[in-house]
A and B are shown apart, each in its own frame.
Chain A
Amino acid sequence: MTQIAWVALILFLVVYAIIVSEKIHRTKIALVGAVAVLLLQIMPQAEAVHSIDFNTLGLLIGMMMIVAISRTTGIFQYLAIKAAKKVKGDPLRIMVVMFILTAVLSALLDNVTTVLLLTSIIFAITDVLKINPMPFLIVEILASNIGGTATLIGDPPNIMIGSATGLGFNDFLINLAPVATLVAIVTIAILYFIYRKDMVVAPENQQKIMNMDEKAFLTDPVLLRKSIFVLVATIAGFVLHQIFHYESATVALAGGAVLLLISGAEPEEVFHEVEWNTIFFFIGLFVLVGGLEVTGVITLVAKWALEITQGNLMMMNFLILWLSAFASAFIDNIPFVATMIPLIKSMAELGGVDVTSLWWTLALGACLGGNGTLIGASANLVVMSIAEAHGTPIRFKDYMKIGLPMMVVSIVIANIYIYFMYLR
């Protein structure tokens, strides 16, 4: 290894350690690390810009803009109350429909917004039912991460994998939606079994749910129609993007720009709703990982990984699946996936193997792994902080008792799926 490679590696490890320690805001330290890559002349600015995946950023920003405008219409709250009334306010069945609603919305929109809006409405429901909200909150977290696994746009790891490999929306849907559905069914069945005895409520409280007016949440019907139109068009664009040779970011940004134009929203306010912390965290990480790439560190690790697995694709898959699941349960899955992507690419080049199955393995491990602990994914953190603000904090240990076994079950399912689909 050259001297500059050592510098890049040490810088990367120090930044990673600080991100894991959570002593300093992750965006700050990622930016400082990226700037250090430039100041230490590990690579010039032009190359650093080149290592940033603008398709990932564009897709994230576009979807965030669409969500920022459409969330003000109250559609999320409307759907949640409507669903609760459909099942006649029965708590156990509310849990099931919330799981489904969260999973579907998370697959199409970003997880954080979905849980942010649905969690507040869940508290409204559980307050009326006078019932412990904890099972519902856990359902929120698990469903959002499982649902997000199913599509290209569902979860940041998938967005990154799609951008880096050219795999499209339909590729993700075909390869991941079936296994995500299976995991969802098993998970909800187990949750149903666990909580079935805790869900007793007075019939008059159940009646109060029936008296809630879901239409009151729909504040702006004109904007609602525009939002739904753009959302449907954008999702259609994702389904067709490979046929028309558009990149996914073009589709998302087109949706964002058109909705911005026709909604009459102030661009200033919409841009404020974009999570710049996340965007700059991504930028910092891309540059840091880029430093490892140009100095040859990634190639070195890839060689080593090929040696220990002896080019055995099955071992590689299982190793990546379990490694990424446990890594994502305890640390942020974004930096993990950002590092794994060039590594897998490099392994493909060096070993001359077809690594397509590895991409699905990485996606399943990194997305589902986020369910393992309360800090495993951003959606988990959002639910945690809303619960805290509501005065019913979720404890790390309490969550893990349910979340970690469920995560292991989902990874076992994923493992079996990968084996039968790709490795036999």
Chain B
Amino acid sequence: MLTVNAWIALSIFIVTYAVIVSEKIHRTKIALVGAIGVLLLKIMSQEEAVKTVDFNTLGLLIGMMIIVAISRQTGIFQYLAVKAAKMVKGSPGKIMVVFFVLTAVASALLDNVTTVLLFTSIIFAITDVLDINPVPFLIAEVLAANIGGTATLIGDPPNIMIGGATGLGFNDFIINLIVPVTVTGVVTCWLLYIIYRKQMTVSEEKQRKVMELDEHAFLSDRSLLIKSLTVLLLVMVGFILHQALHLESATVAMAGAAVLLLISGMEPEETFHEVEWNTIFFFIGLFILVGGLEVTGIITMVAKWGLDVTQGNVVLMNFLVLWLSAFASAFIDNIPFVATMIPLIKSMATVGQMDVTTLWWTLSLGACLGGNGTIIGASANVVVSSIAAAHGRPISFGYYFKIAFPLMIVSIIISNIYIYIAYLR
């Protein structure tokens, strides 16, 4: 049933993945070698491989990284961090909750990658000030970004794709998804708080020191600050309006980056050094590896199998789509998975003469929340873990898995109950 090429593509994917999980070799190296393997073994041509790379995601990443790199020089992130720490009187538990909520709301309106890029800079500034372990905050950051993004049409790539393919609008997404997303958000935040409660202590002396810090002292370059904030604001407005303006999000981010590079007088050489090329090339490698599964028909096969075994039974079908997409998106990028599922679900609607609207919400919940399962399940996860590694605080695959995978399962159980009660009873 599988062609030779499909077996080869699958083997390369599994071996590469195993090496990434083992963390014996730098993941960027192994992802690149795996991708080159796909090309050298002729799973697909170079031209096809280039097509499987999602340049919108890469452009968005590079653009936002450039903007953040330049804005960081103004001290604005430290300023915000100190301000926030003072507002909650230096209590780390409260900071975590506040950041969870802020991240979730922001990522519902903005792209997840953008959100975590901005917030991660602030988190590192705060944990430096309070001298505490940043890892719990970073994990909260990842989870909140993926959960928040599930709520809206523009929050997460799977939703954008589903919206584009079905004509379901902004309000449809909010109305149908806000309830499970809010419940998941509250439960996840509460569980995280319980897990990390004991690590969240800061000595009174440290708390006093934080209260004594002058946040204004961090703002070093006024004129650059004004330029950065203006560009950042315009980019945010651009993101919110990008569909109305018919501009893709990478265009908006790169426009902001190019303009800020021009008006800031920064050396492009130095600015490009601040871009996390490790992350970019890891993404390129992953896109090509998953692309190999796509062109050889493996993703289609898995999806078809899932739909075949449930023939006709709507309840069963919803549950299977939910869990299948959750597990698939935890391990591979959810974009190619959703891209494969959409035409399959559509064809079921025409062939089986059934109303599949519920399945869209199921697919969205599974694919978006499933991304929380592993450290490479979604773009936001990869970005945060790369930045953490660059700061000398790497989050290992195993550690993240231990915390986040169970939380992902909880979120899918919540979704399952919601779907049953809201649509299938």
Contacts and interface: CB of A to CB of B under 8 A. Distances in A.
B251 A280 contact: no
B160 interface: no
A272 B262 CA distance: 21
B248 interface: yes
B255 interface: yes
Contacts of B32: 253, 256-257, 260
Contacts, number: 101
A276 B254 contact: no
B268 A32 contact: no
Contact of A25 (B251, B259, B268): B268
Interface in A20-47: 24-25, 27-29, 31-32, 34-35, 38-39, 41, 44-46
A312 interface: no
B95 to A, nearest CB: 29
Interface in A250-272: 250, 253-254, 256-258, 260-261, 266-268, 271-272
A165 to B, nearest CB: 15
B16 to A, nearest CB: 12
Q: Is the interface of A mostly helix, strand, loop or mixed?
A: helix
B123 to A, nearest CB: 21
B15 to A, nearest CB: 13
Q: Is the interface of B mostly helix, strand, loop or mixed?
A: helix
Interface string B21-43: 00001101110110110011010
Most buried by B among A31, A247, A277: A31
A182 interface: no
Interface string A40-64: 0100111001000011001000000
B198 interface: no
Contact of B39 (A254, A261, A274): A254
A261 B275 CA distance: 21
A256 B261 CA distance: 29
Interface residues of A, number: 40
Nearest to A52: B55
A249 interface: yes
A246 interface: yes
Contacts of A276: 268-269, 272-273, 275
B246 interface: yes
Contacts of B281: 267, 271
Given A247-B46, A260-B32, A274 B277 contact: yes
Nearest to A281: B268
A35 B255 contact: yes
Contact of B269 (A29, A55, A266, A277): A277
A250 B36 contact: yes
Interface in B208-248: 246-248
A277 B254 CA distance: 15
Interface of A: 24-25, 27-29, 31-32, 34-35, 38-39, 41, 44-46, 49, 54-55, 58, 245-247, 249-250, 253-254, 256-258, 260-261, 266-268, 271-272, 274, 276-277, 280
15 contacts: A25-B268, A35-B254, A35-B259, A45-B251, A247-B45, A247-B46, A250-B40, A254-B36, A258-B36, A261-B30, A267-B26, A268-B390, A276-B275, A277-B272, A280-B268
The 9 residue pairs across chains A and B that have the minimum distance between CB atoms: A271-B277, A276-B272, A31-B258, A257-B32, A45-B248, A247-B46, A35-B255, A35-B258, A38-B251
